[in-house]
Structure 1
């Protein structure tokens, strides 16, 4: 297993949870603290912190210190890596569908003759 495989495994596992996906969606709009991220959820701030730790371990977010604040930031490079991996397989699949469409169109034309 390669390093890329390990990163993809951690990222996809982290994204398997709806709370973590919601946290990623929120961070896509801008940096936020744990308190700000916890606001819309009916779970404890400690539970949100654990979700953030999972996202951070997966490399999907980073944290920094700004005086008393510790904002979380979306790691766009990691998301681009996931998107690139997904796109590779999407493009292959779309190519196969285009080939199938061409075969079906040819068969349809032959049936009409």
Structure 2
């Protein structure tokens, strides 16, 4: 085995940087994230499933959410508020690395 056979570890910081690099190309960034849909629950908040967010953006988004409250709805898995998702997509909710500390259903 030589140095070219070693896999590069996908650390949270590397994934956040990759997401930030994609953000520099707004059309591609929005196309990649277009599949993330708002989930409207009766008597509950509008949310997104974190598992629906493709990497590296999932890790970048989770890093940005680290200190914020998260909704919990039985049998839905890990969720985030849709307004936080829209803010993150619009660049209003982000952190540069993993070590740093809306209404309706459309962003």
TM over 0.5: no
Q: TM-score, normalised by structure 1?
A: 0.30
Higher helix proportion (structure 1 or 2) = 1
